[in-house]
Amino acid sequence: MSNEINTEVMETFESMPILEEMKTSYLNYAMSVIVSRALPDVRDGLKPSQRRILVAMNDLSLGPRSKHRKCAKIAGDTSGNYHPHGESVVYPTLVRMGQHWSMRSMLVDPQGNFGSIDGDPPAAMRYTEARMTSVAMEMLQDLKQDTVDFIPNYDETRNEPVVLPSKFPNLLINGSTGIAVGMATNMAPHNLNEICDAAFMIMDNPDCSIAELMDVLPGPDFPTGGLICGRKGIYDAFTTGKGHVKLRCKHTIEETKSGKQRIVVTEIPYTVVKTNIVSKIADCVHEGILTEVSDVRDESDRKGLRIVVELKRDANADVVINKLFRYTQLSTTFAINNVALVNSRPETLNIKQLIIAYLDHRKEVIRRRTRFLLNKSQARAHILEGLILAVSDIDEIIELIKASPDAPTAKVNLMQKPLRLIETATLKNLLPEDFLNTMVQKDQFLTGPQADAILTMQLQKLTGLETEKLAKEFAALMDEIKGYQAILADEKLVLNMIKDDLQELKDKYGDSRRTEISDAFEDLDEEDLIADEETVVIISHQGYIKRMPIDTYRKQGRGGRGILGSDSKDDDFVEHLFVASTHDYLMIFTSDGKCYWLKVYKVPGMSRQSKGRSIANLLELGDEKIMSIKNVRTFDDRQLVFATRKGIIKKTTLSAYGNVRSNGIKAINLDDDDDLISVKITGGNDDILLATANGMSIRFNESDVRSVGRVSRGVKGITLRKGDEVVGMVKLEDGDTVLTVCENGYGKRTELEEYRTQSRGGKGIINIKVTERNGKVVGVLAVTDDDDVMMMTRNGIVIRTGLDQMRTIGRNTAGVRMIKVGESDVVSSIARLIKDDSEEDTDETVETAETETSETE
């Protein structure tokens, strides 16, 4: 039977709540990620991985003048010596520090494929090489002069710095990004010259405000340039540490030899991948969003970035740019979140606190360096004191050493021998007076280090010339010591040294700002994506609305049959036709005296034969009927003059209608048996002409009508005879003639002089003979010889004809035929096209009997 050995393992179990254990373990993990991996230190702006890469490169002596070394070697040394998370994690960090589109001032000088702004990955680390830039060397400067603390590395085989001395303000210049547990950082880069100027301001005036800092530091400066839209996001980030900055590309508009336009993008927003922009533009073209674009291509080369967007003929480049901003990454938002480690604790800092943290770090570095140099100088001066004493009595020193049996005994004998400096003319001139007095008047004893130095002293030091050198070196050291002591005693001297360092950085590495800042910025709305162009708007009697290009109608001779302007069905017919800009407001006045608003670009664009879309689908209308329409661009101090069918006239400032509401507002207070027929925009002192269906008219100056409030009734404009009603209102101007059109297609032009000015409220004078041939008056217009006129019939027939062929005749006449109408058809509306001499023939506006196009800005 074999012997069995029973080994009892003593185990200890501790009971504890699982929630408490999970909480403790998770917090430990979270703090490890926050402190040791994801967030930068506010002092040098580096994460541990970045700092360790630079330290490893410094160990390899990979300065800006050395040869490039394989990145595999750098990543391996970093991982093996300092960073225990694998070289595959180190290499991406190394690559980013060598990408000019990622870093405002690169810390790594790359050689080989380090990726591209197109999002291409870098080559494998065995193929690429790197070394440090001059900027990185500035961060490592004075590392060996006890300027920062060192701690053991992960396996305690060597020490690594907790932070770099960082003469270069890396965090402020290059920014940082990182995602920790429960928090993240996204710090924007800035311009070195501006950061230095801001630091100067804070050192000179510690109480300066953020607004004052922004005079010299206006905002971030991104490596890829671009345009910052607006300053509010910058101010928020600078004051609170959090803010959203709107970034846009820089672009120019070029014209090709064929007359087309192209948009050329030369700078894109920070962190945006160029190929994503090109592919997104192509997708928008295929999806019908960018119908104006004919081609997009990437023409970037070593000279710079260049994305070309070719436009179709007659495309509006500004509208395309706005669409590109809306649908692509040519416009992005950079969310600033200034979270950094302060004394190993994450804090959100504003721009002034970040600069102060850098300055405090530099103060500490300079003080520690000064103390290190002071201790070193004092130690050397102490040795020199002993050497000088020994040389002055060298014969006895030599005899004493010769008589000693060994070196330790010689050292003891030296330390026990009293020495006194023999003053000479040379020493008196070179050595400080207080030192001479002490050494000459009293015996001195050597210390252990001094005795060691004498024992190791070379025989050549015994010459008179070497003695003089020792004295000069001692005197220089004493001056240095006094300088170091002064620096440690006076903070102003420390600040002056920081200023000198920053000025040196400006001179060596400063460059001009790359990112422009625009003062004004408004978010893109739907209107920015619509071309500002003239269109014809048609509204039928039953409330169907549509818009069409102005060139839909070709010019015809007087008396022609015209073309079909709308596909009328059943008892529907065209009631309103006018020309308006796509960015205008349509002010729609209804039968119950309300006013609604509708942007012209929201009116559906349709063909000439289409019926249109019900306006009830576009507005929140009730049972009321549309009676008059105005289109305006801005609501200013001009006047709105209202005319009703019962002869009431009212005048109100246009600005009273500027409060746009989706459910409309009360525009005029109407009598129960009255309705609105026309609205005009006037300048406040224009002549007004009212025309009635039975051929009467009255002319008076609008100054006779007092301006009243928005919901007022108004006053009497004309006294109507029994069975008559007002059918039109005209605003008269010098050079105009009055065109009157009757329902059977007859009309006439009459000079303004034929219409004498009367007092408001009279019965008026004859305007045109109303006969069975003519029919009743449909409307009146103020026209000139250069105008064209459009006439619409109830069945939807439209004719456009020039008035240069139509001579003027008297008031009390019947007129001539202007349009042939069918037996069951009558003229329902007329409109005037006013040509602008400074534009081409296609640039026209329309004035109708029921509607009028106002002046647009």
| The most confident of 417-431, 652-666, 772-786, 792-806, by mean pLDDT | 772-786
| Residue 328, CB-side half-sphere exposure with 13 Å CA sphere | 29
Q: How far apart (Å, rounded) are the C-alpha atoms in residues 617 and 546? A: 12
Confidence check: pLDDT of 437 > 70: no
* Mean local confidence (pLDDT), 646-652: 92
pLDDT by residue (tens digit) across 357-416?
999 999 999 999 999 999 999 999 988 888 887 877 778 888 888 888 888 898 898 888
CB atoms within 10 A of CB 633: 15
- Summary mean pLDDT of the chain: 85
Name 844's bridge partners: 835
* Mean local confidence (pLDDT), 34-60: 91
Confidence check: pLDDT of 838 > 50: no
Predicted confidence at residue 626, as pLDDT, reads 73
Q: Which of residues 608 and 147 earns the better pLDDT score?
A: 147
Local structure of 470: helix, strand or coil: helix
Domain 532-853 in this protein, CATH class = mainly beta
The two three-digit tokens of residue 478, written as one number: 């004493």
- The closest of 146, 138, 152 to 45, measured between CA atoms, is 138
The two three-digit tokens of residue 63, written as one number: 């300065």
Predicted confidence at residue 637, as pLDDT, reads 85
The residue whose two tokens read 């040795």 is 383
Q: What percent of the chain has pLDDT over 90?
A: 45
- The closest of 462, 487, 454 to 366, measured between CA atoms, is 487
Q: How far apart (Å, rounded) are the C-alpha atoms in residues 268 and 332? A: 10
Predicted confidence at residue 711, as pLDDT, reads 84
Q: How far apart (Å, rounded) are the C-alpha atoms in residues 180 and 341? A: 12
Backbone dihedral region for residue 568 (phi beyond 0: left; psi -120 to 50: alpha; all else: beta): beta
Q: How far apart (Å, rounded) are the C-alpha atoms in residues 171 and 713? A: 68
Confidence check: pLDDT of 439 > 50: yes
- The closest of 517, 530, 527 to 248, measured between CA atoms, is 517
Domain 364-489 in this protein, CATH class = mainly alpha
665-666 and 108-111 strand pairing: unpaired
User: Which amino acid appears at position 644 of this protein?
Assistant: T
pLDDT band, residue 853 (cuts 50/70/90): very low
- The closest of 335, 175, 322, 333 to 269, measured between CA atoms, is 333
- Could you tell me which CATH number the domain at 250-329 has? 3.30.1360.40
Residue-wise DSSP of 363-406: HHHHHHHHHHHHHHHHHHHHHHHHHHHHHHTHHHHHHHHHHSSS
Name 243's bridge partners: 336
User: CA 660 → CA 599, 631, 730, 841, distances in Å?
Assistant: 11, 13, 26, 34
Detail the DSSP E strand segments found in 733-770: 737-742, 746-751, 765-766
CA angle 110–116–118, rounded 5-degree value: 175
pLDDT by residue (tens digit) across 510-548?
999 999 998 766 555 556 566 677 888 887 767 788 888
Taking the chain, what is the end-to-end CA distance rounded to the nearest angstrom?
113
pLDDT band, residue 834 (cuts 50/70/90): very low
Predicted confidence at residue 843, as pLDDT, reads 37
Confidence check: pLDDT of 828 > 80: yes
pLDDT by residue (tens digit) across 114-124?
999 999 999 99
Q: How far apart (Å, rounded) are the C-alpha atoms in residues 73 and 129? A: 9
CB 334 within 8 A of CB 244: yes
Which positions are catalytic? 127
The two three-digit tokens of residue 169, written as one number: 């303000």
b/e 444-458 (16+ beta carbons within 10 angstroms → b):
bebeeebbbbbbebe
For 340, counting Cβ atoms within 10 Å of its Cβ (0-12 exposed, 13-18 middle, 19+ buried), the class is buried
CA dihedral angle for residue 805, residue 811, residue 813, residue 819, rounded to 10 degrees: 40
Q: Which of residues 271 and 573 earns the better pLDDT score?
A: 271
Crossing angle between the packed helical segments 71-81 and 48-59, to the nearest 10 degrees: 110
Local structure of 766: helix, strand or coil: strand
The order of strands in the sheet holding 585-590 is 563-564, 797-802, 788-793, 827-835, 844-848, 852-853, 626-632, 585-590, 594-599, 665-666
Predicted confidence at residue 375, as pLDDT, reads 94
Q: How far apart (Å, rounded) are the C-alpha atoms in residues 427 and 712? A: 109
Q: How far apart (Å, rounded) are the C-alpha atoms in residues 750 and 809? A: 5
Phi and psi angles of residue 172, each rounded to the nearest 5 degrees, phi first: -75, -30
CB 234 within 8 A of CB 219: yes
pLDDT by residue (tens digit) across 732-757?
888 889 999 999 889 999 999 899 99
Alpha helix (H) residue ranges in 205-348? 210-216, 232-240, 274-286, 317-327
The two three-digit tokens of residue 260, written as one number: 């087309």
Q: How far apart (Å, rounded) are the C-alpha atoms in residues 640 and 631? A: 12
The two three-digit tokens of residue 15, written as one number: 């009971």
* Mean local confidence (pLDDT), 21-26: 76
pLDDT band, residue 352 (cuts 50/70/90): very high
Task: Find all residues with CB under 8 Å of 20, minimum gap 6, and list them.
Answer: none
Predicted confidence at residue 441, as pLDDT, reads 65
Domain ranges of the chain: 46-165, 250-329, 364-489, 532-853
Detail the DSSP E strand segments found in 281-350: 293-298, 307-311, 331-337, 339-342, 345-348
* Mean local confidence (pLDDT), 88-93: 92
pTM score of the predicted model: 0.69
The two three-digit tokens of residue 831, written as one number: 């409109």
The residue whose two tokens read 């119950």 is 592
- The closest of 401, 243, 211 to 337, measured between CA atoms, is 243
- The closest of 771, 848, 852 to 815, measured between CA atoms, is 771
Q: What percent of the chain has pLDDT over 70?
A: 88
* Residues of the chain by 3-state class (helix, strand, coil), percent to 5: 30, 25, 40
Q: Is the dihedral of CA 132, 136, 139, 142 positive or negative?
A: positive
pLDDT band, residue 852 (cuts 50/70/90): very low
User: CA 773 → CA 54, 511, 592, 811, 830, distances in Å?
Assistant: 99, 84, 34, 17, 19
pLDDT band, residue 258 (cuts 50/70/90): confident
CB 693 within 8 A of CB 742: no
Q: Which of residues 592 and 654 earns the better pLDDT score?
A: 654
Predicted confidence at residue 197, as pLDDT, reads 96
Helix (H) or strand (E) holding 568: none
The residue whose two tokens read 């006239």 is 649
Predicted confidence at residue 374, as pLDDT, reads 95
Confidence check: pLDDT of 1 > 80: no
* Mean local confidence (pLDDT), 310-323: 86
Q: How far apart (Å, rounded) are the C-alpha atoms in residues 676 and 648? A: 9
Local structure of 797: helix, strand or coil: strand
Q: How far apart (Å, rounded) are the C-alpha atoms in residues 219 and 200? A: 17
**CATH domain 46-165 topology:** Topoisomerase II; domain 5 (3.90.199)
